[in-house]
Amino acid sequence: MLGLAAYAGMHWFWHRPEMRQPRLLAELVRMPPPDALPVPVEGVRPDAIADTWGAPRGRDRTHQGVDIFAPRGTAVRSTTRGLVTSVRDGGLGGRQVWVLGPGRERHYYAHLDDWAYALAPGDVVEAGTTLGTVGTTGNARGTPPHLHYGIYTGNGPIDPLPRLRARH
């Protein structure tokens, strides 16, 4: 029984990418969240991003981020230094990447056409690191290609647009 408990503990530990980078995790926890962020889609200016935060999305949810429209295949880059915690395909976001950033904020990049080559949970990224490309996966099928970008704190989602516009 003790062996099973030890296995379960190690399984939990190794399947949590942030636990494999304890120094970086400690650094990210100590760092305050940035006041300004670069636009995560190559070639898009902040004033070209529509403010759709909180817009109704069906009967029981609202838009918890911003949609940044660009041609399919345009590079999507990390907005901050951080640790990739998830690279997956599924749900509303389709192909998506989650990055744990300063202040333990989680940055969400969704509807990707593809991921950057060999990107995996546990990878350390810097602001500007390519994560993937703009697409229409998940519930974005049938819409123009775009990146859905969101930021989540311990208290829930926050509007990323003010930080994207503060950069310029």
- Reading the chain (168 residues) residue by residue, the pLDDT tens digits are 545 444 444 444 445 666 667 888 889 989 999 999 999 999 999 999 988 887 777 788 887 899 999 999 999 999 999 999 999 999 999 999 999 999 999 999 999 999 999 999 999 999 999 999 999 999 999 999 999 999 999 999 999 999 999 865
CA–CA dist 88, 85 (Å, integer): 10
Q: Look up residue 60 and give its two tokens.
A: 């029981």
CA–CA dist 146, 66 (Å, integer): 10
pLDDT at 114: 96
Provide the 3-class DSSP secondary structure of residue 25: helix
pLDDT at 118: 93
Domain ranges (residues) in the chain? 2-166
Q: Where are the alpha helices (DSSP H) in the chain?
A: 2-14, 22-30, 161-166
pTM confidence score:
0.87
* Residue that the structure tokens 């120094």 belong to: 23
pLDDT at 63: 78
Model confidence pLDDT, tens digit, residues 42-73: 999 999 998 888 777 778 888 789 999 999 99
Residues 89/118, Cβ–Cβ less than 8 Å: no
- Residue 16, C-beta contacts closer than 8 angstroms, at least 6 positions apart: 85
pLDDT at 20: 66
CA–CA dist 49, 39 (Å, integer): 9
Burial of 41 (0-12, 13-18, 19+ CB in 10 A): buried
Q: Look up residue 7 and give its two tokens.
A: 């296995």
Q: Name the phi and psi angles at 27, rounded to 5.
A: -65, -45
pLDDT at 15: 57
pLDDT at 168: 56
CATH of 2-166, one of 3.30.565.10, 2.70.70.10, 2.60.40.10, 1.10.3720.10: 2.70.70.10
pLDDT at 4: 47
